[in-house]
Amino acid sequence: MTLPEAEAECTRLAAESPDRETHRWIPRDDGNGNWSVARIALPPAADAESTTTRADERPPTPADPRPDVPPWVGPV
């Protein structure tokens, strides 16, 4: 298969395949000039309405471990 043929097949699969909601297709070179189509599974879509993130639910900020030295003081 040539690169244009693999790209055309990827386009066809993206439009017609029953797996188009859960997968993508990309052209794949085997290193010898031969092309094929690789199917890549997509991660599940996050449901925006199923979880709520509130600003007051963040974990507390840890204390700054650096010594209390003014920023204009250089190395000693």
Residue 57, phi then psi, degrees to nearest 5: -100, 10
User: For a pLDDT cut of 70, what percent of the chain falls above it?
Assistant: 71
* Inside any domain, residue 26: yes
* Inside any domain, residue 10: yes
* Inside any domain, residue 24: yes
Please give the average per-residue pLDDT across 35-57, as a whole number: 76
* pLDDT(68) > 90: no
| Number of structural domains found in the chain | 1
Q: Which range of residues forms the domain containing residue 29?
A: 3-43
DSSP string, 2-42: -HHHHHHHHHHHHHH-TTTTTEEEEEEE-SSS-EEEEEEEP
The answer, as to whether pTM is greater than 0.75, is no
* Inside any domain, residue 53: no
* Inside any domain, residue 17: yes
* Inside any domain, residue 63: no
* Inside any domain, residue 73: no
